[in-house]
Amino acid sequence: MIEDAEPPLDPGWVDEVLLAGRAADHCLVLGAPTDRASLRALVAGEQARLTEAGLRRGGVIALCLPPSLAFISTLFAAWRIGAQAILLDHRLTAYETERALARLTPQVVVRAKQAPDGALRGFAQVTAEVSTYPGLPAAGPHALVQLSSGSTGPSKVIGRTAADLVAEIDRYRQIDGVPREGERIVSLASMVHVLGLVGGLLYGLAAGVQLAVPERMTPLGILDTVAAGLEPTTLLGVPFHIELLASVADPPPLPQLTGMTTGGELVRSGVYESFVNRYGVRLGNMYGMTEAGVIATDLFAADRPALRPAPGLTVREQGGELHLAMPRSPYLGDTDPARWSEGWLHTRDAGSVDPRTGLMRVLGRRDSQVSVGGLKVDLTEVEHTLADLPEVEGAVVVFDKAVEAYVVLRNPDAQTRVRELLAQRLAAYKRPRVLHVVERLPRTATGKLVRDQTVLQQTAPQQEQPPQTQSQEAATRGAPQAGAAELNLAR
């Protein structure tokens, strides 16, 4: 565990930062509005239940609850006790949940008594069921433990103290373009994960911003939730939600909608333009990590595609990788020097920092840059080029001895056209050697596309790779051969 860490923040921070404010203010809208007095009563009730179950200051609790009032009140009650809260996504299978519990060893586990109704629900009405677990007390000062998204491999265990969370809330307060007191956030990002948790729930309560969650995460459900309030409203979500909303051909007038902020992956230019043109509002970008929360923003698209580091944070570029100044490792267990060393978190994201302006650019995952025949290929560039084709609904590009693509086509007969367009837009050595046509692309619980080859291969039908011709082999090696044929794309 982490040594020489700061002592835990007094549990009073929950009342001072999150639950303070006028009793009658409607701070949450999950179906029906909930005022602060009611929220405080819910938290007090859950605190009594958890105390009765044996949870004490320094204890560990795991929450396996969907976004709900039960989730919020149980989480705040645990923090009010001074316990460490582990958040597990309710969409994990029973097998995945049990493996996580065995790995993280909580003392108390809270699950939903009944399964949520419907996969597209933004929140659920559930009853929390409390049980004991043969776990251990917290070995460090962390108030929050989360698993990374695991979009490119196994999840990492990440710990954050209450002071870390309060500091991030304060960073949000200083960022130009975030909602202010009396305004509203409609959050599409799950509050089980860092963007929806801190950027939506915790910041909203601390800043006097109402948080509303759509009952159903469909375009109509989202737009109905925006229309239900008169306050200036900001949407908070990830690129998946932008694509969803951009698919609405003729959205209704929404004068209260002031903009949308997206976290997660880069938004492709075609999707960005489609959203802005349809809704006539700003689309801001936010870059962050589970390890640190928000790191950089461009909420008015003034510097697109660059971002400005959030107040108080220092970002540098080292060997083509972005590093974030962080006094201690956020990882529980042995510290990996490839992830954190000498006061710097290695983000594993490729990028650059302008020494004159301080603006930074995120160029995608560092492991998305591969060598093909001695020539550098950015898989993010290939993926965006492929996904922007009108015939392609979605795409993921990976590398395993050769560049491969997994694509969802709008028309199964469009493969020939896709080949032709890629030949016009990408050099031969960049083009995918194999094209796997799949019905859908797997996503993580946070909406990120999965790039783990093992998971992707399960979605693709078995197919034979056509033999390479001499010219194709030359193209793969990057040899400067005139008239080199395009790389084959297998069906």
Q: CA–CA distance from 268 to each of 10, 242, 245 (Å)?
A: 43, 10, 14
DSSP string, 331-346: BSSS--TTTEETTEEE
In tens, the pLDDT along 416-464 reads 899 899 988 887 888 998 899 998 898 876 677 888 888 888 887 654 3
pLDDT at residue number 463: 47
DSSP-based three-state secondary structure for 13: helix
* Beta carbons of 321 and 347 less than 8 angstroms apart: yes
Q: Whole-number mean pLDDT of the chain? A: 87
Q: What's the CATH number for 162-199+206-313?
A: 3.40.50.12780
What average pLDDT does range 257-283 have in this prediction?
90
Using DSSP's 3-state secondary structure scheme, residue 211 falls into strand
Question: pLDDT, tens digit, for every residue of 325-353?
Answer: 999 999 998 778 889 999 999 998 989 99
Q: How confident is the model at residue 486 (pLDDT cuts 50, 70, 90)?
A: very low
pLDDT tens track for 182-240: 999 999 999 999 999 999 999 999 999 999 999 999 999 999 999 999 999 999 998 88
* CATH annotation of 373-477: 3.30.300.30
The answer to whether 1-160 and 162-199+206-313 have equal CATH topology is: yes
Please say if the pLDDT value at position 466 is more than 80: no
Percentage helix, strand, coil, to 5, in the chain?
Answer: 30, 25, 45
- Per-residue model confidence (pLDDT) at position 416: 87
Convert the pLDDT of each residue in 226-243 to its tens digit: 999 999 999 999 888 998
Nearest-angstrom CA–CA distance, 279 and 246? 9
Contact residues for 436 (Cβ-Cβ < 8 A; gap 6+): 404, 405, 406, 407, 456, 459, 460, 461, 463, 490
Distance CA 230, CA 105 (A): 45
Look at residue 488 in the predicted model and tell me its pLDDT.
Answer: 27
CA 46 to chain CA centroid, Å, is 28
Which whole-number Å values give the CA distances from 154 to 128, 142, 147, 264, in the listed order? 29, 22, 9, 18
Q: What is residue 427's predicted lDDT score, i.e. its pLDDT?
A: 79
The helix (run of H) or strand (run of E) holding residue 176 is none
What's this model's pTM, rounded to 2 decimal places? 0.80
User: What pLDDT digit, counting tens, does each position of 77-103 carry?
Assistant: 999 999 999 999 888 888 889 989 999
Asked if 268 and 246 count as a contact pair (C-beta separation under 8 A), the reply is no
Domain boundaries, the chain: 1-160, 162-199+206-313, 373-477
Residues 359-385: what's their mean pLDDT? 79
- Domain 1-160 adopts which CATH fold? Rossmann fold (3.40.50)
Q: Determine the 3-state secondary structure of 106 from DSSP.
A: coil
Residues 299, 204, 450, 345, Cα dihedral to 10°: 80
Kindly state the average pLDDT of the residues 362-370: 77
Contact 128, 74 (CB under 8 A): yes
Highest mean pLDDT among 109-118, 256-265, 374-383: 256-265
How far is Cα of residue 358 from the mean position of the Cα atoms in its chain? Answer: 24
**Model pLDDT, residue 149:** 62
pLDDT at res. 465 = 42
Residue 478: per-residue pLDDT: 35
DSSP structural state of residue 197: I
Average pLDDT over residues 146-166: 81
Report the Cα 88 to chain-centroid distance in Å. Answer: 14
Residue 410 has pLDDT above 70, yes or no: yes
Copy the structure tokens of residue 218: 């469909």
Answer whether 258's CB lies under 8 Å from 270's CB. Answer: no
- pLDDT above 60 for 318: yes
- Provide the pLDDT confidence category of residue 469 given band limits of 50, 70 and 90: very low
User: Phi and psi at residue 225, in whole multiples of 5°?
Assistant: -65, -40
d(CA 366, CA 65): 33
Output the pLDDT for position 154. Answer: 62
Contact 436, 408 (CB under 8 A): no
